[in-house]
Structure 1
Amino acid sequence: MKMNKKSLLIGIIIGMGILGMANLVFASIGGNDKPANPLGVEVIVEAGDTLWSIADRYNEKAGMSINELLFYIQRENKLDSAIVHPGDHIIIPIK
């Protein structure tokens, strides 16, 4: 089968379109584990802070009870326990 210039050009255009779409699909799957804009405010734990005191400070702004916010902070920040240390960065949801 002999390919003329027109068929070759159409094949190249279709191939580029398929590669472009595949690139968009794989780019949308991502690999970025950290959201660009976290949902909330970042708090840096200071000396004397506990997770309870931080939850107590922000619970009204977050629209949650202290216990709900405490649980949320632990879950969303992937904390193994309620122990935090000065310098830790945690995200607090603020509506």
Structure 2
Amino acid sequence: MKTVDYQDGLYERLQDQDYAAEYLAEVLATESYSTFLLALRDVIEAKSLGIGELADEIGVTRQALHKIMSENGNPRLSTLNKLLHATGFQISIKSLESQTI
């Protein structure tokens, strides 16, 4: 039986925009910002978005984008919004009170 590398399988699933959105939301729910940035990097790599072009689109250098996407990255909210928008996503807020337990 042929096996699929986990990362290859993940990247294939992340081609689906809805799956990628759910993936990012689930990772963000863990409240680990560094893990969220790594998950966002997975989405960017899965979509084969060029780092140079993406950096230009959001108005930062390639080096700055690599730093932003690192485990220790700490982008401004405005930069994160631009990055999410460039990858086809947006931040959404919802009430915790409306969630059923």
If the TM-score is normalised by the length of the shorter chain, which range does it land in? under 0.3
Indicate the structure whose relative CO is greater, using CA pairs within 8 Å and at least 6 residues apart: 1
- TM-score, normalised with respect to structure 1: 0.27
Q: Which structure is larger by alpha-carbon Rg, 1 or 2?
A: 1
Determine which structure has the larger helix proportion and give its number: 2
- TM-score, normalised with respect to structure 2: 0.26
Determine which structure has the larger strand proportion and give its number: 1
